[in-house]
Structure 1
Amino acid sequence: MKALNENNEEQKMVDEGKVEQGTENKSGYIRMKKFPFIMLLFLLVFLSAGITTFALAFGKDKVVTVAPQRSEFNKLYAAFDTLKNGYYKDVNQQKLINGAIDGMVSSLDDPYSDYMSNEEAKSFHSSISSSFEGIGAEIQEKDGHIIIVSPIKGSPAEKAGLKPNDIVVTVNGKSIQGMNSTQAVTLIRGKKGTKVELTIQRPGTDAPMTVPIVRDTIPIETVYGEMVDESIAKVQITSFSTNTTKELVTTLNDLQKKGMKGVVLDLRQNPGGLLDQAVSITSMFVPKGKVIVKEQDRNGKVKEIASQNEGSPNLPLVVLIDKGSASASEIFAAAVKESAGVPLVGEKSFGKGTVQTAEDFKDGSNLKYTIAKWLTPNGNWIHKKGIVPDFDVALPDYASLPIINPEKELALSTSSTEVQTAQKMLKAVGYDPEREDGFFDEKTKEAVIAFQTAQGLPADGVLKGDSTMKLMDLLREKIKASDTQLQKAVEVLKERMK
């Protein structure tokens, strides 16, 4: 099974885990293989016992022969024996072995390469199933920090206001600085109905924010369609999952019955997904034989993947991207732009341009490591650069406002960055407090009361709990209603349909 991952820079999504599927994993482009591996401990035992060769079968025809007397491992053996025999407490030998493997992978200094314990591997695999339990966000490790790649549509993470590039500082009070994304996912995920508290540092803001989130079941429903007017449809793909092609075909067929003549395909906040799904869907819009993506291995050898032309490339199309569009989303966007002349609208994408493979050990643990670059049809490597849209369009300023912790009380005479954020939100949704300096004065209280009264909430002039959540809900609705990027995409599409 091939998958695009963590994005993902792995569309791990806080995910927490999505193999690119965008949820609590890293974002990236992954190929998954399940080959039985022998654990390092067994290998050490066989070699130290004087076995001259050791063959391990992979599937039907792949065999690895391990020769003894590998001098480069002498230091590793010595360290293992020293700790096992001389440490002041009994050591867990399996833990030592896992640590050794993890150390090797960490030394690569590659945020997309991970060694996963049995428990972490289970979380990794569940991210490509039909559903999982967590907060529904894609994460990645970058420069020693865990950052949000993208929240999943309708997830607790999205409802709590998490945004791409938010830095997760702590999870339930525990610092996660220096952790890889797999370790962070293990802390962030949990049973439906349980609460996890994240401390978030948002770029451009001074103070960190505490964000309580109640975990839920995150279904992997990936395609949402609606008519924008009598002839134009908007179709959002939230990730490239197992059934995304089928979902998209069904959605497009339904929209055609409603009069769809052109489509805006929305890949904003899409952290990636399965490679076969990305190729299949891209083939619906790129002429047969045209290149969709190229892979370049360590020796510079390039493999091309061409359009299968499973659909009609003649449907007028415009694609929306933003900084949360990663991995598989970028493969699709680059392919339709360079091989089919489809315009891109929005903001520069995330920039994930490497390929990973994931292999299971016999004990259920997992090793994921980078094996290649992926290139656009024209041979461009977008890693850490992103894809620049043809039409650079930003959302309104209020679309990037930080989160307000609903458990924190904002009331008369208080002063804070949260109050400043609340004032900007109130103004955006039509209840102008006439100031945005962060001081909660009488005018601010009047604005809060007016907002609470209009929404049928207790009109006490205090922002907390339901009032805070409702204010953020109204802002999300405002952002959707004033979607400048979608408006521009529709305008461009109408020109293409003439």
Structure 2
Amino acid sequence: MSLKFRRIILGVGAIALLSVGVMAWQPGSDGYRQANAATDYQQLQKFSQVMEMVRQAYVEEVSDEKLIEGALSGMLLSLDPHSTYLDKEMYKQMNVDTKGEFGGLGIEIQSAEGGIRIVSPIEDTPADRAGVKAGDLIIKIDEDLARDMSLMEAVKKMRGKPGTSIMLTIFREGENAPLEVKITRAVIKVNSVKSDMLAPGYAYLRITQFQQPTVQLLSKQIRELKKRAGGTLSGAVLDLRNNPGGLLNQAVAVSDLFLEKGNIVSTKSRAGKSLSFDAEPGDILQGLPMVVLMNNGSASASEIVGGALQDHHRAIVMGTKSFGKGSVQSVVPLNDGTAIKVTTALYYTPSGRSIQATGIDPDILVEQVVLKRDEEANKRASNSVSEANLKGHLANGNGKKKKVKEEMGEGPSEVMQERLKLDTQLQRALDLLRGLHVLRG
């Protein structure tokens, strides 16, 4: 039996087998099922015919595996930007990513018209240090046009041996010409939770990604900040800016830390069971004022947290509109070590809002303004004169009082003090917390 004849037999057998599977899943009347089965058979027959023609006539010999994987990749890519086929290498790497250590540049990306869109650079990674920003459009990777690549092809090209470099050509809104950014690859260890004091009594909590240990790290650092504050906090900022998302269960657990009761998030799907996640009693901050900072780099799991705290009026959301990724992807492993990631549901906040393509609108809109250190202004401020500077001024009669720092515990680190000078959104968040604390008495 010739090779060609065997392939035709196999192709027809696959068509027959798939057709039986399709028929078994078709709803409705027998006539409806039969009509759809006939259409499906014709489409599968067309696929088999094209595949056989490529085998026979393409300028180079192509393996059946490559053709099938290309077909699967194209099929999923045609659905939406987040559905994709994962070959063995990508599936293995995806499992490593969620544990917080992987190699590459440190950016979250998605497919876009004309190239690859950067959802968010991950904090303290090569891409972040190189100045890459959320919303940048990658139009070239080295000398290759990004518009000609699938998302997985772009990921493969950007990942590589630590220490090697890559050139990204990006288009940034507001710039007159494309920018070339050279980035050196590194083994990226993402510390998903960071914390500090904004001022005595006011906690700063930063989540860069939602990974397996996130909620445990966050709980631990809140307890440590309470000790630094002398046992009592006055308020907290939860910074989710440029957080591209991550694991759903960690987003739910983080939301639950600050909520006493009520729904956190629900999902609705066309097939399969819709899910709903509710909070359990216990607010780790015991109702203290909270501000959540978000921007257009806040996506997916970070939008779940922001939406839940906003809908329950547990926190004030400040900053700019979030990214708007409100879809659920299910990863289905296949027998040969590959997998598919397919969009199966949409997220809904406790009030029933869909995040998809709308995002979270802040309660208080605060655009990020780039500030520069003004040494002259600082010098003028330090040279200002008040009553206390006048020789022979009268005492105020209040007597000596403890400093606020002694009453409330430690203040911000030097790094945080420098950051506060330049981060206008963080400044406004701290101002708001102080105002809320005064109103609460």
TM-score by length of 1: 0.69
1:200 alignment partner, one of 159, 170, 175: 170
String of CA shifts for 1:285-342, please: whole Å, max 9, x gaps: 1222x11112121279854221134543523311111111111000000000102441
Give 3-state SS (helix, strand or coil) of 1:356's partner: strand
* Runs of 5+ consecutive residues of structure 1 not aligned to the other structure: 1-40, 55-67, 399-427, 433-475
2:88 aligned with 1:115, yes or no?
Answer: no
2:73 alignment partner, one of 93, 96, 102: 102
Q: 1:43 to 1:477 in 2, by over 3 A?
A: farther
Give, in whole Å, the separation in 2 of the partners of 1:42 and 1:271: 47
Q: Residues 288-437 of structure 1 correspond to what in structure 2 (within 5 A)?
A: 288=261, 290-298=262-270, 303-309=275-281, 311-312=283-284, 314-397=287-370, 428-430=372-374
Give, in whole Å, the separation in 1 of the partners of 2:72 and 2:281: 43
Give, in whole Å, the separation in 1 of the partners of 2:263 and 2:87: 37
Q: 1:342 to 1:43 in 2, by over 3 A?
A: farther
Q: Is the 8 A contact 2:15 2:45 kept in 1?
A: no
**How many residue pairs end up in the alignment?**
372
2:432 aligned with 1:492, yes or no?
Answer: yes
Q: How big is the shift at 1:372? A: 1.1
Give, in whole Å, the separation in 2 of the partners of 1:102 and 1:121: 13
2:63 aligned with 1:92, yes or no?
Answer: yes
Please give the root-mean-square deviation of Cα atoms over the aligned residues, in Å.
2.9
Give, in whole Å, the separation in 2 of the partners of 1:229 and 1:50: 67
Q: How big is the shift at 1:86? A: 4.4
* Runs of 5+ consecutive residues of structure 2 not aligned to the other structure: 1-7, 22-36, 377-415
String of CA shifts for 1:439-472, please: whole Å, max 9, x gaps: xxxxxxxxxxxxxxxxxxxxxxxxxxxxxxxxxx
Work out which of the two has the higher radius of gyration on C-alpha atoms and give 1 or 2. 2
Give, in whole Å, the separation in 2 of the partners of 1:186 and 1:158: 19
Q: Residues 30-69 of structure 1 correspond to what in structure 2 (within 5 A)?
A: 47=14
**Bigger share in helix:** 2
Q: How big is the shift at 1:155? A: 0.8
Q: Residues 60-79 of structure 1 correspond to what in structure 2 (within 5 A)?
A: 71=41, 72-79=43-50
Q: 1:330 to 1:88 in 2, by over 3 A?
A: closer
String of CA shifts for 1:144-173, please: whole Å, max 9, x gaps: 421111111111111100111011111112
Give, in whole Å, the separation in 2 of the partners of 1:490 and 1:332: 20
Q: Is the 8 A contact 1:317 1:342 kept in 2?
A: yes
Q: Is the 8 A contact 2:370 2:422 kept in 1?
A: no
Give 3-state SS (helix, strand or coil) of 1:292's partner: strand
**Letter matched to residue 47 of structure 2:** L
Select the structure with the greater relative contact order (CA < 8 A; seq sep ≥ 6).
1
Give 3-state SS (helix, strand or coil) of 2:62's partner: coil
Give, in whole Å, the separation in 2 of the partners of 1:324 and 1:42: 51
Give, in whole Å, the separation in 2 of the partners of 1:48 and 1:352: 36
1:180 alignment partner, one of 150, 153, 156: 150
Q: How big is the shift at 1:97? A: 0.6
Give, in whole Å, the separation in 1 of the partners of 2:354 and 2:113: 20
Q: Is the 8 A contact 1:344 1:390 kept in 2?
A: yes
Give 3-state SS (helix, strand or coil) of 1:314's partner: coil
Give, in whole Å, the separation in 2 of the partners of 1:107 and 1:161: 32
1:262 alignment partner, one of 235, 242, 255: 235
Q: Residues 127-138 of structure 1 correspond to what in structure 2 (within 5 A)?
A: 127-138=97-108
Give 3-state SS (helix, strand or coil) of 2:264's partner: strand
Give, in whole Å, the separation in 2 of the partners of 1:49 and 1:323: 48
Give 3-state SS (helix, strand or coil) of 1:362's partner: coil
Q: How big is the shift at 1:361? A: 1.8
Q: How big is the shift at 1:182? A: 2.0
Give, in whole Å, the separation in 1 of the partners of 2:254 and 2:10: 43
String of CA shifts for 1:78-104, please: whole Å, max 9, x gaps: 222333344454321101111111222
State the match for 1:163 in structure 2: 133
Q: How big is the shift at 1:431? A: 8.8
Give 3-state SS (helix, strand or coil) of 1:239's partner: coil
Q: Is the 8 A contact 1:220 1:241 kept in 2?
A: no
Structure 1 segments, 4+ long, off by >6 Å, are 48-54, 476-479
TM-score by length of 2: 0.77
Q: Residues 204-243 of structure 1 correspond to what in structure 2 (within 5 A)?
A: 204-243=174-213
Q: How big is the shift at 1:229? A: 1.3
Q: Is the 8 A contact 1:280 1:310 kept in 2?
A: no
State the match for 1:285 in structure 2: 258
Q: Is the 8 A contact 1:145 1:177 kept in 2?
A: yes
String of CA shifts for 1:198-254, please: whole Å, max 9, x gaps: 111111111111111111121121111111111101111101111001110110010
Give, in whole Å, the separation in 2 of the partners of 1:480 and 1:184: 36
Give, in whole Å, the separation in 2 of the partners of 1:136 and 1:244: 18
